[in-house]
């Protein structure tokens, strides 16, 4: 493998220094978190990179905290830490499902949640799980701090709405109501989720009095970005969760998907996966809501 | 430009000046001449470059040299430091758990890390832990056998 091209390297000690380093580094300055996407993108020259700003020396960007009405996950939190978090498992099982199938152990031990969103891969595992959990990202940039829904950050394949001096500092996920459940399912070519998804889906439901009051479905590797499946969500909302209604929503998800064919899977196979994986994610969401146990 | 890092490699404190555009893998192999760690794909897919960082297997081809600062890195050379093979290494030899040997350092280190966490992993747990490392010779059954031999479960 060829070496990385030369770049300026810095390890700022504070967020302000990091934002300043990014702002002065210009368009090709990049944040380095776990490096499992950035180093690959630099080696393959997908991303021209003049400066690497390693944010791992900045204190306060890791950890999972219970804020009562919300859960905070620091941007530098490792995927393995999310996988092992009791709190996240209780509140947002889809995120733990997604973390546990993201890449292989030696990659997962480096990968961070902030980097997963920053890379904006259409095949992201954490992206759809964050979307169905209604997560927002807190962002620090030259204009100060702001908060945006993760769902709104995705602009195109590999592209977010972040400017080149923006840094995601943490994710805020509202605590779910009673009757909430969620799940994430993906299919990759190598077993056990050791590689990028051919397709992936996350689902969340709120079940009240035996009826799905709220439903979110998000798809990965089934369009240019991780995105919501509105027709599928509408199909299930207001219905009692049965194999039949979940199946109808899963059918609708295949309509919402706009898959392409590539080295991993053909477009038609992906359309089938959209249906099958949505059904599985919905079953997992309903089961974890405690409202209905899958036979 | 060089960058000074203070790190521990195979138990020895190591203070070195590194080119910050090099990966940990390149520093280990080319600067420290620890060539037991192999480069396969260079992009995290194959796992042959695994070293242990604070006890955890990581893909060293994706880590910049600067990130080794403050860590305790173990490479395959560290396992038989005293001149005597470790239990896992002996099991690999006894079982013949390799053909070309290219993935062996990563397999041995990953199995070692697993067995430190859990003295008796079962076959599924071993497969899961080793899942990130490709063996192009297909020696997987023997590798599994070797690790299970050391595991209390395999006995
Ligand atoms: C072999 C292999 C298999 C993989 N399999 C999967 C998989 O199955 N599922 C999956 O979802 N991903 C997978 N990935 C991709 C990758 O591991 C994840 O996306 C990971 O979460 C990226 O995090 P990181 O910390 O390594 O990001 P980095 O590489 O450090 O950064 C990624 C991008 O985000 C930007 N960035 C990082 N942190 C921030 C921040 N805090 N604020 C703003 N921008 C930021 C960087 O500038 C860069 O552009 C795989 C990668 C490899 C190499």
Chain B, nearest residue to A57 by Cα: B67
Q: What is the 3-state secondary structure (H, E, C) of chain B?
A: CCEEEEEEECCEEEEEEECCCCEHHHHHHHHCCCCCCCCCCCCCCCCCCEEEECCEEEEHHHCEHHHHCCCEEECHHHCCCCCCCCHHHHHHHHHCCCCCCCCHHHHHHHHHHHHHHCCCCCHHHHHHHHCCCCCCCCCHHHHHHHHHHHCCCCC
pLDDT at A217: 98
Closest CB from A2, A7, A107 relative to B132: A107
- B92 lies in the same domain as B52: no
- Is A96 within a domain? yes
Q: Each residue of B97-127: pLDDT tens digit?
A: 999 999 999 999 999 999 999 999 999 999 9
Atom of ligand 1 nearest to the CA of A117: 34
Contacts of B56 in chain A (CB under 8 A): 109
Residue where one domain finishes, among candidates A140, A174, A208: A174
Ligand 1 centroid, distance to A235 Cα (angstroms): 33
Residue where one domain finishes, among candidates B78, B108, B126: B78
- B92 lies in the same domain as B65: no
Domains: count for chain B: 2
- Is A3 within a domain? no
Give A293's pLDDT tier (boundaries 50, 70, 90): very low
Give A196's pLDDT tier (boundaries 50, 70, 90): confident
- B60 lies in the same domain as B92: no
- Is A294 within a domain? no
Residue where one domain finishes, among candidates B78, B99, B128: B78
pLDDT at A278: 98
Give A292's pLDDT tier (boundaries 50, 70, 90): low
Q: Which of A118, A136, A155, A225 to mutate to test the pocket of ligand 1 (most atoms within 8 A of CB)?
A: A118
- Rounded mean pLDDT of A150-158? 97
What are B57's two structure tokens? 């297997």
pLDDT at A243: 94
- A135: domain CATH number is 3.30.465.10
pLDDT at A295: 45
Q: Each residue of A114-125: pLDDT tens digit?
A: 999 999 999 999
Q: Each residue of A161-175: pLDDT tens digit?
A: 999 999 999 999 999
Domain that holds residue A25: 8-54
- A18: domain CATH number is 3.30.43.10
In contact, A55 and A61? CB cutoff 8 Å? yes
Most confident of A188-192, A193-197, B78-82, B91-95: B91-95
- B71 lies in the same domain as B123: no
pTM (2 d.p.): 0.96
- B16 lies in the same domain as B60: yes
Residue where one domain finishes, among candidates B45, B78, B111: B78
Residue whose C-alpha is closest to residue A110's, from B20, B93, B51:
B51
- A20 lies in the same domain as A109: no
How far A72 CA lies from chain B's nearest CA (Å)?
25
Report the DSSP pairing between strands A159-160 and A154-156. Answer: antiparallel
pLDDT at B86: 96
In contact, B69 and B5? CB cutoff 8 Å? yes
Nearest CA to ligand 1 atom 25: A34
- B69 lies in the same domain as B94: no
- A143 lies in the same domain as A103: yes
- Is A273 within a domain? yes
How far B114 CA lies from chain A's nearest CA (Å)?
11
| Residue % of chain A over a pLDDT of 90 | 91
- A185 lies in the same domain as A144: no
Nearest CA to ligand 1 atom 27: A115
- A271: domain CATH number is 3.30.390.50
Q: pLDDT under 50 in chain B at which residues? A: none
Nearest CA to ligand 1 atom 33: A119
- Is A168 within a domain? yes
What are B118's two structure tokens? 């859990």
pLDDT at B154: 58
Atom of ligand 1 nearest to the CA of A31: 47
Q: How many interchain CB pairs under 8 A, A with B?
A: 89
Residue where one domain finishes, among candidates A112, A139, A174: A174
Domain that holds residue B147: 87-151
Domains: count for chain A: 3
Supply the mean pLDDT for chain B.
95
- Is A223 within a domain? yes
């Amino acid at each position: 493998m060829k070496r990385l091209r030369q770049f300026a390297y810095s390890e700022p000690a504070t967020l302000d220094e990091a934002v300043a380093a990014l702002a002065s580094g210009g368009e090709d300055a990049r944040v380095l978190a776990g490096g499992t996407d950035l180093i690959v993108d630099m080696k393959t020259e997908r991303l021209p990179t003049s400066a690497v700003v390693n944010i791992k020396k900045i204190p306060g960007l890791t950890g999972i905290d219970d804020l009562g009405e919300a859960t905070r996950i620091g941007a530098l939190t490792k995927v393995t830490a999310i996988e092992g978090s009791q709190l996240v498992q209780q509140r947002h099982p889809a995120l733990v499902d997604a973390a546990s199938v993201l890449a292989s152990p030696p990659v997962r031990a480096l990968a961070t949640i902030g980097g997963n969103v920053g890379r904006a891969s259409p095949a992201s595992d954490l992206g759809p799980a964050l979307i169905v959990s209604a997560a927002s990202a807190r962002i620090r940039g030259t204009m100060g701090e702001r908060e945006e829904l993760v769902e709104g950050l995705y602009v195109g394949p590999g592209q977010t709405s972040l400017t080149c001096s923006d840094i995601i500092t943490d994710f805020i996920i509202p605590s779910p109501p009673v009757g909430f459940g969620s799940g994430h399912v993906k299919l990759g070519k190598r077993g056990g989720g050791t590689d990028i998804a051919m397709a992936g889906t996350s689902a969340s439901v709120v079940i009240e009095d035996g009826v799905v009051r709220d439903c979110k479905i998000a798809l990965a590797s089934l369009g240019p970005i991780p995105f919501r499946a509105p027709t599928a969500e509408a199909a299930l909302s207001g219905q009692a969760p049965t194999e039949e209604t979940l199946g109808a929503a899963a059918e609708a998800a295949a309509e919402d998907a706009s898959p392409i064919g590539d080295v991993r899977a053909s477009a038609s196979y992906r359309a089938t996966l959209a249906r099958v994986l949505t059904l599985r994610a919905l079953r997992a969401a309903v089961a974890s809501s405690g409202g209905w146990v899958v036979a | 430009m060089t960058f000074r890092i203070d790190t521990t490699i195979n138990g020895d404190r190591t203070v070195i000046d590194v080119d910050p555009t090099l990966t940990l893998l390149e520093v280990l192999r080319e600067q420290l001449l620890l060539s037991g760690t192999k480069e396969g794909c260079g992009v995290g897919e194959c796992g042959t470059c695994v070293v242990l960082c604070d006890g955890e297997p990581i893909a060293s081809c994706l880590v910049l040299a600067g990130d080794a600062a403050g860590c305790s890195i173990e490479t395959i050379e560290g396992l038989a430091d005293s001149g005597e093979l470790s239990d896992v290494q002996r099991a690999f030899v006894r079982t013949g758990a390799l053909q070309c040997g290219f993935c062996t350092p990563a397999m041995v280190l990953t199995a070692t890390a697993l067995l430190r966490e859990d003295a008796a992993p079962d076959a599924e747990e071993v497969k899961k832990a080793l899942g990130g490392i490709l063996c192009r010779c297909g020696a997987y059954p023997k590798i599994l056998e070797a690790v299970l031999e050391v595991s209390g479960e395999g006995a």
